[in-house]
Amino acid sequence: MENFALIIVAILIGYALQKFKIFSQETPIILNQYIIYISLPAIILLQIPKLNISFDIIIPAAIAWLVIIFSAIIVLIFAKYLKWSKEITGSLLLVAVLTNSSIAGIPIISMYIGEKSIPYIVIYDQLGTFIALATYGTLITAIYADSTKRTTPRIIVQKVLTFPPFMSLLIAFCFLGIDYPPIISSILRDFSSTLIPVALVAVGLQLKLKLPKSDLKPLSIALLIKLILAPIIAYLIAVIFGWDTTLASDVSIFEAGMSPMITAGAIAAMVGLAPRLSTAIVGYGIIISFLTTFVISRLV
């Protein structure tokens, strides 16, 4: 319940700050930059070294990545058919593909399935969406952001290698199985704890309840892919591989159907990938996901 309260209160605070014009219009950009350059790298450096590689991680990790791949393909099909701009396509490749696997996943799934689900939630989050954010997310921003400049393979590789979350991921892998000194862990933990409230306030600051008609179609399609098609994809993958009777697959189906990743929306907004639309998808996705995850709980 604490996580639900945090989501609602932080978004309302951001929305109130926007309506009363207490902060400048540049504030969401600054908050998003803080997330990308400080909070997210801190989480990566703190959490990745704790991973234990074993057979148990295969199901959630495999489903996470396959859902990401198939969801991205669906986005590209819609983008080509509907002739979306590069900015809208890049936006949906982030917010309609990457899932809110921790801040929403942990409280919602544990509420429906119990605490026994948490290890699989962590695996899906850490080896699935978390690494995808630092790798796939970096690649998407490198390819689709700043469409006025010519994009070459060299520029893409350079952007990927210099993107703070990806740099942090490379450093974090060097410390797998190694415990940081207590003071380092404490500093990383303090900075990482700021990500969710700051990201949610940034969502509220940019959330527009009334959107232009041009945004309604990509918004609807993004939520269709993220909240409905993604868990169906996860279920089909589990059935095909014979995992559908396992707890790991149930957790993975839930995770696939979670709301759009808040940090993905922050990244999209920061690099100019349809900021208004990206934020709306995250905001409306959080609200609607309370209903869709209830439906999933009745089916798995």
pLDDT of residue 8: 83
Residue 18 is part of a domain; what is its CATH number?
A: 1.20.1530.20
- Number of domains, the chain: 1
Kindly report the pTM of this predicted structure.
0.81
Q: Give burial (CB, 10 Å; 0-12/13-18/19+) of 52.
A: exposed
pLDDT of residue 3: 66
* CA–CA dist 282, 269 (Å, integer): 11
Domain extent for 35: 2-299
pLDDT of residue 149: 58
pLDDT of residue 54: 66
* CA–CA dist 10, 200 (Å, integer): 5
3-state secondary structure of 63: helix
pLDDT of residue 148: 54
pLDDT of residue 145: 83
How many CB atoms neighbour CB 77 within 10 A?
A: 10
Q: Read off the pLDDT of residues 20-32 as tens digits, 9 standing for 90 and up.
A: 999 988 898 898 8
* CA–CA dist 272, 263 (Å, integer): 14
Tokens 């995850």 identify what position? 293
pLDDT of residue 222: 97
Low-confidence ranges of the chain (pLDDT < 50): none
* CA–CA dist 189, 209 (Å, integer): 34
> E-strand spans in 3-140?
none
pLDDT of residue 151: 62
Tokens 């952001």 identify what position? 145
pLDDT of residue 1: 61
Conformation bin of residue 247: beta by default, left when phi > 0, alpha when psi is -120 to 50: alpha
Structure tokens at 140: 């998407």
**Cα dihedral sign, 237-239-240-242:** positive
pLDDT of residue 174: 92
